[in-house]
Structure formats: C-alpha cells, structure tokens
Structure 1
C-alpha cells in the first residue's frame, strides 16, 4: 500500500477531506485531474451560507449550521498550519427582496426552516432597518426589505483552496496534480487506482471528484445521482467599502471588488453570455443604483455539482468496504464539517448512523415511492 487513503479530487471538497484525514494522522495522497477538467471550486462565489439551506431537509439544515459554527476554529487552525492568509468574515448575511411577493416568499422559507426545529437565527428586516445596516449606500426604490441571518459569512474561495493544499503538504500528505483517474480496481486489502503516471494502492479511497464522481464509482456499484447547473458571476473593479454584509448574489470582497451573481441555468458548459451579464447587472443596480457606475472587470461561469435533491451525498460501498464518495454543491460552507466531522468518520472506516439522511440509498426510496 502506498498510503492510508487516496482522495480523488483536489477541489475544496476533496482537499477539506484530505486535510481532515491528515490531521487524524492518516497518510494521504490526493489525485487531481487534468488542467481542462470542470472545476466548481475555482468558480465559487465564496459564501458560507446558512439561511435557506435545507429548508426542506432538516438534517442538511442542521449540518450547515454546525459547519458555520465550526468555521472560525477550523480557519484559525488551517491558517496556522498552512501559514496562509484567508480573508474571512462572519457578519451575518442578507437576501434582498425587490417586491412584497419576494419578501413574503422569503419569510415563508424562514418559517418552514424554523418549524423543522432549527434555531431562530434568521429574521426579516424592513427597508428602514436595512438602510440603517447599510449607511454607505442608497437603496433602489424597489427594495422593500431583506432576510438577515446572523450565522452567514463569506470567504475568499481561492485563498481557502490554496491554504488547504498547503496544509495537506505541511501534514505530510501529497497532492499529485495533472493525474486524471482511469479507474478504481478492488484488490486484496484495498484498492488500486490507475492514473496517468501509473498506479497507487490504498486500503481506502474517497471519491470527491465533482461531476466526474459517478463515472468512477458506479462501475463498482456505488451510485451517485448528480446533475449539473451553470452559474455565471460578474466582478467589478475595486471600490470603496460599501457592503458590510454579504448577500445572496451580491458581496464585496476584502480587496474591494463587488461580486454579482449568480445564474441558475440548465446548461452543461462553462461559456459566458451577454444576456446573463445583463440580467445580473440589472438586478444588482435595482438593489444599489450606484453600482451602475462601477466597471465590470471579469465574468466567468462554472458548473454546480448538484445531487438530485440538492442535499449532500455521503456514501460508502457495502460491496467494497473502504470505498467512500462525497458530493455536494456547498463545498465552501461545509468545508469545516468535512474536515471535522466527515473526515474523522472516514478515518475510522465507517460513516456514523447520524449521517444516514445523506446516504445515496435515499434515492432508491424516492424512486420506489
């Protein structure tokens, strides 16, 4: 065996798991794909978001809150081990409402989440309250209020990914870049993974390769029902600090740029379009008209990794013990939980019963129903 665990996927999800495994003293090799592979981790908006997550899935809502609370300690240790700067803040977050209907719908989402037993950490704020929270801007006339969650925050996702990679190396792990996976083969005592540079063997394999995950696990009988969704984002030039709170679709980074997003398109490529840029810019300027004078400097698109019910999948193979798979579209929000909760469970060789709601077996139940 070449190591204790092979992690397939060097994005935020795979890297957080590998970092957590290395912290538990496991020897880890992380395998990255080809340069042109789809990479959700590098197209991320950077929100660490609680409100609205799992409004119809109580276990997901609880895990999201747990991860949000773990984030400060997780980042402090990660920064020390990696000796890296990672811009992070947790001032709470907003969802702007541009009509009475949007306001009522958002209130209903909050009520539904609270009725499932979640903490009352999200509240609706009026336009007057919102104006007090945002003294540096003048809101557009369509803004009627917002939803505010005190647990929400944001981070620079590229800094986060770089810090995870550095921390893995600092703890003795290896990341092999440009090593696309051919297949995973069960062997005596574990698995052999065929890559472009040869083969590696380990008693445990974790597949966290985003949209490529099903192609690697399903030949071994481990189903991972995923779909993709394109999201486009705009970024402005640096401007003076005006947005003290991140918002769904609108946040100001630590270096002053304003990120505007994101679309939800049932399209499986990463091209950008003028139509989407127009749509995003129009909504942003309805919220804060002054953004109309800021120059756009970048536009990009990425593909979300979405389980069919949008709830994370944490799966282990019953046919091939030691084979695990992880997929979600909240890799940044759940990074702390992946490091502190999921990785230790994998290190021990079994996912605990309280993660059963995230099993891939739930899709078979839904299909039968």
Structure 2
C-alpha cells in the first residue's frame, strides 16, 4: 500500500466512530476522525447508557453473542478509558432487570429468553416473581407482576464514555476534526481522497460511522446503508436517594443519583422533538414500576434519533468495489463499544472477519 497522509479516516465522531478510531490509534495507526457540526443529528445525545445483552438476538442469536462478547470486554475497557481520561464513567455490571407489568408480558419475556438460552447457555436469565423482585428492589410497585434478571447486563454514562474516548484517542496521537462533514470520497493513489469542503486529505482506508449520514456516504464507495431514524424520548429527574442498583429497560439511576426514564420508539422521520403524550406515558410507566417517583421532579426532557436497520441489527461490511472502505452502523453504540474497539478493529486492519459477524451484511435486506 502506498504511503498516505493517514492510515485510516473514520467518518463520524459518535460512540461507534470514536470506539473504532481509538482502537485503531492505540494500535499505531495514524487515524483522523472527520465529524459533523454541533447541529448534526447524533444518536449519542439520546443514549440511555445500557450495556444490554438480555433479549438481544431473538431474530438472530449471533447478535446476542456479539453483544455478550462486548459486555465481557467492558470491565477492562472501562478501566482503560478511566485511566486514559481521568474520568469516572459510572460503569457497573450488577445485572439488568426487565420488569413486567402483567403476567402476559412476563411470560413473553421468559419464552424469548428461554429460546435464546437454548441456543447459547451463556445467555443466562432468572425469572423473578413479585416477591423475589421486591427482595432485590424493595421500592418496586405492588401492581408489578415480576421480572427477568440477567447477570450479563450493566450500565454506564454514555456522555462520559464518549468524552473519555475523545481524550484517549487524542492521547494516542489521533486527530479529531469537528465541523468537517464529508462532501465526497474518491479512489486515489491506492487509497481514498476525502473532501470536506474545507480540506482535502488522503487515507489508505476509510470507515463510515456517521449513523444516519451513512445513507449519503455509503454509495460513494459502493456500499449501502439501509438505516432509518427512530425517535426515542428521555426524561431526567432531580437526584434521588440511591434505591435502584439494577438498570432496567425504562428506568435507570445514574451514579450521580438522577434517574433516566425512557423506552419509547416512534417513526417520526427526522423530527427529534418532545411530545406531551409520550412524556406522560413514560412518566406514568415509571411511577407504576416505582411509586416513590410520584413526587420526584423532572428537570429535563429531550428526543433523539436512533439509527435503525430494518431488523434492528448491525451492518459491518467492506466494499467489494472500493476495497479498504468499510461501513459500521448499529443502534447499540454503548453496548458494542468494547467489541468495536477490541474485536472489530482487527478485521479493519486485515485480520479475518469475526465469524459472529457473518450475517451482518447489508445484502440480507436485498430480498
């Protein structure tokens, strides 16, 4: 390969792009991250902070296995980022709880997890009735039917994680360029010439991690990005005494004591606003699960757009027509950050593609 200005150009400075960029830079690759503007649509702004395995893979068990591989890497990954950045990420892995408000919901969760466990015994779970759940979380509501618990799950601050990735990346010699939306990518000198409108640079390889922006970028290098926005709304409360050790899918207590409330999904196009109906629904559900929240104040609410493929699973692919150009897109940027940094990067550098990823080509949608 000819010598280029950079070994890798990573397009997109969110959780996916920065995890990959840091993984490349710490392995000695001269790496530049080209990011969008502050006003760009960013999934990281709405991330709930779950490192979640339970239930992943119901359509394809390899997704659950890939998520588990990442969760197992997270303790060392978090420690490395904290050392490199001097930040506390608020990471913990106490296991996660998926609360069921009625018996039918509990049965549905159990059936799904039982099937996944039959495929891979590492995808473990426990069924908790109302009494057993209350032993772990005494503040749970009386009307709750029960829950399923998985030791594989955990949580972390997504914003501190992203900040730590920036600091670690820069510490290893990486170059981050904000306000540099890519206008064109062309083959040049055995690599790629990338034009941001303000600057033209060359890199031996390019990795597209721009979320919804990949829809416009991927065709430039012979790839497709079958992604669409799915809005999620999140509420954050004032700080509350510690009561919720375990993250749940809709309520999570942060290391600082505030609570994140969420779990909405809306097809609203590019509208990332907040609506009273969804805010009220999220709040009612949280109070049903944990009545002590009835008098807790909400201090902020926002919406953000998730990056979703038609089956909600990732796409990892190298271009057949433009070798050296890759796409990495998923909506589980926190859960999969450790795997992206430690496992996916090897493939980008020329090692064999992880066998767990053999399903995650965009061609699965061409039917």
**1:266/1:337 Cα in 2 relative to 1: closer, same or farther (>3 Å)?**
same
How far residue 120 of structure 1 moved from its aligned partner, in angstroms, is: 4.6
Question: Which runs of structure 2 are paired with 1:42-121 in the superposition (5 Å)?
Answer: 42-121=45-124
Which residue of the partner structure matches residue 126 of structure 1?
129
1:362 is the counterpart of 2:361: no
Distance 1:354 1:100 in 2: 34
- Of 13-22 and 78-87, the range deviating more from structure 2: 78-87
- Equivalent in the alignment of 1:293: 295
Does the residue aligned with 1:34 lie in a helix, a strand or coil? coil
Give the number of aligned pairs: 363
Give TM-score, length-normalised by structure 2: 0.96
Q: How does 1:109-258 map to 2 (within 5 A)?
A: 109-135=112-138, 137=139, 139-258=140-259
Where 1:243 maps in the other structure, the secondary structure is coil
Taking the aligned partners of 2:352 and 2:226, their CA distance within structure 1 comes to 21
What is the CA distance between 1:352 and its match in structure 2?
4.5
Q: Structure 1 residue 348: deviation in Å?
A: 2.2
Gaps of 5+ in 1: none
The answer to whether the 8 A contact 1:52-1:113 is kept is yes
CA distance in 1, matches of 2:306, 2:333: 10
Once residues 151 and 349 of structure 1 are traced to their aligned partners in structure 2, the CA distance between those partners, rounded to angstroms, is 28
3-state SS of paired residue (1:178): coil
Instruction: Please give the secondary structure, in 1, of the residue aligned with 2:245.
Output: coil
User: In structure 1, how many angstroms separate the alpha carbons of the residues matched to 2:225 and 2:82?
Assistant: 33
Matches within 5 A, 1:26-37: 26-37=29-40
In the alignment, which residue of structure 1 is the partner of 2:20? 17
C-alpha contact 2:50 2:155 (8 A) present in aligned 1: yes
Q: CA RMSD in A?
A: 1.2
Q: Secondary structure at the match of 1:4?
A: strand
- Mapped to 1, the partners of 2:123 and 2:67 lie a distance apart of 14
For residues 297-325 of structure 1, give each alpha carbon's deviation from its aligned partner in whole angstroms, at most 9, with x where no partner exists: 01011111011111111010011110000
Q: Deviations over 1:175-226 (max 9, x none)?
A: 0011111111111210011113211110100000000102101233201211
Q: Secondary structure at the match of 2:362?
A: coil
Task: Give how far 1:126 is off.
Answer: 0.7
What is the rounded CA distance, in whole Å, between the counterparts of 1:349 and 1:322 in structure 2? 13
Indicate if the aligned counterparts of 2:186 and 2:220 stay in contact, CA closer than 8 A. no
In the TM superposition, residue 263 of structure 1 has moved relative to its aligned partner by 0.8
For residue 117 of structure 1, report the CA deviation from its aligned partner.
2.3
Looking at structure 1, the residues matched to 282 and 264 of structure 2 have their Cα atoms a distance apart, in angstroms, of: 8
Distance in 2 between the 1:184 and 1:83 partners? 36
Q: Alpha-carbon deviations, 1:151-177, whole Å to 9, x = none?
A: 110000000000000010000001001
- SS in structure 1 of the partner of residue 321 of structure 2: coil
Q: Deviations over 1:261-309 (max 9, x none)?
A: 0211011211101111100001111111110100000101111101111
What is the deviation of 1:118? 4.1
**Which SS does the other structure have where 2:120 is aligned?**
coil
TM-superposed deviation, 1:355? 2.2
Q: Cα deviation per residue 1:99-157 (whole Å; 9 max; x = unaligned)?
A: 1111111111111211222425112111111111013x2x3232010010111100000
Deviations 1:2-50 (A, max 9, x none): 2100000000000000000012110100011011110001211000001
The Cα of 1:343 is off from its aligned counterpart by: 1.2
- Are residues 118 and 196 of structure 1, via their aligned partners in 2, closer, same or farther at CA, if it must alter by over 3 Å? farther
Give the match for residue 331 of structure 1: 333
